[in-house]
Amino acid sequence: MPFRWAFIPDSKSLVSKSDDDAAVLSETRKLQSWYGGMTEFSDGSVKLFADGAVYSLAMQGRDPYLDGHDGAWMMNQALFERAFRIYWDAGYQLHIHVNGDAGPDRVLNLLEANQRRKPRFDHRTTIVHFAVSGLDQVKRIKALGAIVSATPCYVSALSDKYGELGLGPDRADQMVRLGDVERAGLSYSLHSDMPMAPCDPLFLIWCAVNRVTSSGRAAGEDQRVSTLGALRGITLDAAYSLRLEKERGSIEVGKLANFTTLAENPLTIDAMRIKDIEAWGTVMEGAKLPVGHAGGEKATLEDLANPADRARFAKVAAEHAVKTVHAHG
């Protein structure tokens, strides 16, 4: 199916290259020229990294792992604080990779310090992944004006195994505590972290609503969310998390006519069947595209100014992909 790509700057790489804050911002803005057509640049947004990956049990936790090993920080404290300050002061929306429950402590402490130093309203600092956390952190996220972009498939894929290895049953069953997030009235979106999990929005809803693990049991039933909330998590609240709610996320006059046509209503069928709903196709900016349609605009880099720019983009993108895979390994 035709779709749009949206890329976000990597603060870790950009800040590491220069001791000059102005140069960091200048290099970030230059990335805008790489994109065009169906490939978009998330202007005014940036990615930061707190602790390590879920799948490699490199998360930083408040409590130790069962085997006593240590997690990892993806950015050291000084680099993380500097990146946060540079982009906060420049008015960027910060999307922060966070997994273990020591990660939100680091992020929220820094968010609070920067809010006191240079207050900002509607900053929408986004806690990305949100694997292991505490109820106290949910309350702090709300108090500080942050939001959550969660990966609900962690529960389905990992809770059983991490109950035995790594986290223990209590922490493993409470992973991705979206029930507490929803009850707190926080905006939350859902994502798959592709290629770590399939890009399947209905599966994300199914995971968040049912919390069924690989063994078929329900883990942390109190952390289930409503189907309507989960549906918003892949539509309007997903757009909100990217500051795109005025142009995407719901079917309204004046917004892009981009939506999916489903064979059944996820709000009315049995929740366990949501992941099996078939899609008739999509409407992409007004064009009806049934499943199997081969047309549509290609998501390419053809609008880049010259071959040298395209080659440089491809090289940098490939290097970043390799780094990302290793970071999540």
Q: What is the DSSP-derived secondary structure letter of residue 175?
A: S
Residue 316 predicted with pLDDT over 50: yes
- pLDDT value at position 1? 46
CA pair distance 56, 327, nearest whole angstrom: 9
Residue 108 predicted with pLDDT over 90: yes
CA pair distance 23, 14, nearest whole angstrom: 9
pLDDT band (50, 70, 90) for residue 38:
confident
* Cβ proximity of 104 and 127 under 8 Å: yes
Task: Give the global pTM.
Answer: 0.88
Q: What is the 3-state secondary structure (H, E, C) of 116-146?
A: HHCCCCCCCCEEEECCCCCHHHHHHHHHCCC
Q: What is the rounded average pLDDT of the residues 283-295? A: 78
Asked which of 101-115, 184-198, 214-228, 286-300 is least confident by mean pLDDT, the reply is 286-300
CA pair distance 34, 46, nearest whole angstrom: 16
CA pair distance 122, 145, nearest whole angstrom: 7
Say which residues have a Cβ less than 8 Å from residue 21's Cβ, sequence separation at least 6: 82, 86
Residue 183 predicted with pLDDT over 50: yes
Q: Which residue ranges make up each domain of the chain? A: 5-328
- pLDDT value at position 192? 92
Mean pLDDT of the chain: 90
- pLDDT value at position 46? 98
CATH 3.20.20.140 fits 5-328, yes or no: yes
**The tokens of 28 are what?**
């970030």
**The tokens of 292 are what?**
């199997």
CA pair distance 126, 240, nearest whole angstrom: 11
User: Secondary structure of the chain: what % helix, strand, coil (to 5)?
Assistant: 40, 15, 45
Instruction: Give the residue, 139 or 32, on which the prediction is more confident.
Output: 139
